Structure 1
Amino acid sequence: MYLSKEAKSEIFKKHGGAEGNTGSAEGQIALFTYRINHLTEHLKKNRKDFNTERSLVKLVGKRRSLLDYLMKKDITRYRAIIKELGLRK
């Protein structure tokens, strides 16, 4: 698999809080962003891979809903994760 256990735990340590909380919205958004970037690179090389394209669209929707949730709950955490991951241009 493209994402090892160590890499995943590193993402959660960096974005999930002090103890690497895997359930935090920031950690989940960071993991989805990593997976979205990986699938985007794959689709640049394999443009007819429609199953991957569908998975990518589903992941983007999940990330969007988590971002909407975070924006409603705590706007400062939302702005921090957007800035940290560079999601807005």
Structure 2
Amino acid sequence: MPEISRFYGIVIRMYYDEHPPPHFHALYGEDEVLININTLAIVSGKLPGRAMGLVMEWALLHQKELKQLWEKARNLEPLGKIEPLQ
């Protein structure tokens, strides 16, 4: 699963040819959450409060890029990286 960003110990990944709805995975330590790209709602899982807030802030800033990467992943194209949260 390609890593598309990393910041503050949080790893953002996206699988190739994954099931809908469009989503990404955020991992922090042993915790993982799946976030719907279109709505930014939690699909499943959880992260500690501070980490979850950082992921949501990052996702809001990069929602358009996430949608583009989702389409690339569905087409099995190279994904590249998205800027980390500063």
Greater relative contact order structure (CA < 8 Å, 6+ sep): 2
Shorter-chain TM-score above 0.5: no
Class of the TM-score when normalised by the shorter of the 2 chains: 0.3 to 0.5
Give the TM-score taking structure 2 as reference length. 0.34
User: Which structure shows the higher strand fraction?
Assistant: 2
Larger Rg: 1
